[in-house]
Structure 1
Amino acid sequence: MSCNKPEQKKGVDYIIRATGADHQVRIFAATTREMVDYARQIHHTSPVATAALGRLLTAGAMMGSMQKGEDDLITLQIKCSGPMKGLTVTADGKARVKGYVENPMVMLPPNKAGKLDVGGALDMGVLSVIKDMGLKEPYMGQTHLVSGEIAEDLTYYFATSEQVNSSVALGVLMEKDNTVKRAGGFILQLMPFATEEVVEKLEKNIGILPSVTTMLEEGNTPEDIIRRVLDGMNVEIMDKVPTSFECNCSKERVEKAIISIGREEIQSMIDDGQPIEVNCHFCNSHYIFTLDDLKKILKKL
């Protein structure tokens, strides 16, 4: 297995979960620079691919923390017609997240606003949200991409698939050397009993809010961002959840996958007389199985 992975600073990235306006709204805000830069390093992503994956990782981490059970899994998958081709992110109830881009090397000129053109890199496509809560069948909701900028696409998903009025903001700011300078976001959701007065106040607050990366660059923490979004309302911070990029792949898990393909396929690999290499999409780890390894697996069968 390849072990020369960059180190990710744990305990730096986190999510704040809070409620406001006497529980009429709930809000999640995150800072995710470490996980996004770690993903950039292991997947060798271009700046626009880093921005897209970073936004989806941030959203996935927050949506993972929304799950009731720690072992519940949520997968966000985008299949698109643009040169990025697609992205996949999976998170659990502890906000441990992993993800990858189909075409990590995609390069595009900046958009009209001079920003990284994530929308152009994705273009038209479909967003799928799959929730595995340990039931017989996972829940899946699907919507088409409305902008390809990811935050707007998730706002649309919440409204149409989950019937929850939400506001999603996500951002990744790159340094000149293409490392990640800032990353984070927030997800605001209205409870069904939210009053018109609260809705109007939120619309006004969000309307004058700078971008997430601007707020982070100004030194705002997730707690500060929540207070700015809910300005003029009472805020109750529920808890602080650490979040990081973590993959649970291992040689043992890969071995189980090899076992699942059956005796004939494994015998065919042995007959080829060459070791096989299995690559994990999520974290780019490489696992080598020698002929002896394959023979031992066959014996287990």
Structure 2
Amino acid sequence: MANTDYLVRGTAAEGQIRAFACSTRNTAEEQRRIHNTSPIATAAMGRLMSAALMMGVELKGEKDLITLSIKGDGPMKSLVATADSHGNVKGVCGNPYVILPAREDGHLNVGGAVGKGFLSVIRDNGLGEPYVGQTALISGEIAEDINAYYSISEQIPSSVGLGVLMNKENTVAESGGFIIQLLPFAEESLLDKLEEKLSKVHSVTDLLAKYSPEELLEYLLGDFGLEIHEKRELRYHCNCSRERVEKALISLGKKEIESLLSDHKSQEVRCDFCNKKYIFLENDLEELLNR
């Protein structure tokens, strides 16, 4: 197994199919390490980050971001993963410590932890109002929910497979997945052939344990004349900085900063995505107030 997380992007059937596959074990493990997530939360975050990274490849601008946000009525509450077009992703979970009994088939009950709610897909090019698409959750298992988003919001027939396999020590053994899509001009007969092939996929984690991203696409699309066009490294990366935190504090407004100053104590601000701490002394806060 490669030590580096990466994704591949390809086409098949003379460009009628586009496809992505990724391996994100280190990325999912880094998220688990930072947030000390339970196995269910680790699996949910690993799936969501894999999807965000594959969707992020399609972003056009240097500073474009895609955010997948899930809000459910289950004990996990919320999940957020933000990716850019360079293979960076970060994520955070509303309740990282959620524990539920396994499903009847022995799998982690991610759907039960997420519950009913909504998936929002936010595309932000930094130039104004971001584009937001929202769909109701189908199962809370994440892959089916992203599939539904594609078919309802973007009218793109897709097959999304995501998986995270945990070790006995509750570290991440495998993480990743695939997205396969038919483009608008694809022949109808292709859909039936593709559906037949994909119906044989019963466990994404089994495929991840067995195949690299290239081999996974070859297994799924080898009969359709697969061509790989790009390979990209992936990583968990948070771009927070003191400057960004200062801007966020200033945006809270004068009253909020005055209220922080009234404590006559230094204030600690922690980044949700990487847990990095930023300390603001009283004179730092006074300076922000003057700004």
Q: When the two structures are superposed, what TM-score results if normalisation uses the length of structure 1? A: 0.93
Q: Give, in angstroms, the shift of residue 166 of structure 1.
A: 0.5
Q: Return the alpha-carbon distance in structure 1 between the equivalents of residues 236 and 104 of structure 2.
A: 32
Superposition pairs for residues 5-154 of structure 1, below 5 Å?
A: 12-154=4-146
Q: Give, in angstroms, the shift of residue 294 of structure 1.
A: 1.6
Superposition pairs for residues 210-289 of structure 1, below 5 Å?
A: 210-218=202-210, 220-289=211-280
Letter in 1 for 2:58: M
SS at 1:232 equivalent:
helix
SS at 1:59 equivalent:
helix
Superposition pairs for residues 168-187 of structure 1, below 5 Å?
A: 168-187=160-179
Identity value in percent: 52
Instruction: Point out where structure 2 has 5 or more consecutive residues left out of the alignment.
Output: none
SS at 1:198 equivalent:
helix
Instruction: Point out where structure 1 has 5 or more consecutive residues left out of the alignment.
Output: 1-9
Range with greater deviation from structure 2 (87-96 or 154-163): 87-96
Letter in 1 for 2:279: I
Q: Return the alpha-carbon distance in structure 1 between the equivalents of residues 165 and 241 of structure 2.
A: 32
Letter in 1 for 2:206: T
Q: Give, in angstroms, the shift of residue 271 of structure 1.
A: 2.6
Aligned-pair Cα RMSD in Å: 1.5
SS at 2:223 equivalent:
coil
Q: Identify the residue that residue 161 of structure 1 maps to in structure 2.
A: 153
Range with greater deviation from structure 2 (109-118 or 135-144): 135-144
Range with greater deviation from structure 2 (84-93 or 202-211): 202-211
Q: Identify the residue that residue 186 of structure 2 maps to in structure 1.
A: 194
Letter in 2 for 1:57: M
SS at 1:79 equivalent:
strand
**1:60-118 deviation per Cα after TM superposition (whole angstroms, max 9, x unaligned):** 11111111223111111011000001101111111211111000000000001110000
Q: Return the alpha-carbon distance in structure 2 between the equivalents of residues 210 and 253 of structure 1.
A: 44
Task: Tell me if the contact between 1:205 and 1:228 (Cα under 8 Å) persists in the aligned partners.
Answer: no
Letter in 2 for 1:23: G
Q: Return the alpha-carbon distance in structure 2 between the equivalents of residues 265 and 85 of structure 1.
A: 27
**1:245-300 deviation per Cα after TM superposition (whole angstroms, max 9, x unaligned):** 1111111110111222233432332232111111111112121111132233334x
Task: Tell me if the contact between 2:28 and 2:46 (Cα under 8 Å) persists in the aligned partners.
Answer: yes
Q: Identify the residue that residue 7 of structure 1 maps to in structure 2.
A: none
SS at 1:230 equivalent:
helix
Task: Tell me if the contact between 1:205 and 1:231 (Cα under 8 Å) persists in the aligned partners.
Answer: no
**1:215-234 deviation per Cα after TM superposition (whole angstroms, max 9, x unaligned):** 1212x110001111113111
Task: Tell me if the contact between 1:47 and 1:178 (Cα under 8 Å) persists in the aligned partners.
Answer: yes
Task: Tell me if the contact between 1:11 and 1:243 (Cα under 8 Å) persists in the aligned partners.
Answer: no
Task: Tell me if the contact between 1:95 and 1:241 (Cα under 8 Å) persists in the aligned partners.
Answer: yes
Q: Give, in angstroms, the shift of residue 11 of structure 1.
A: 7.3
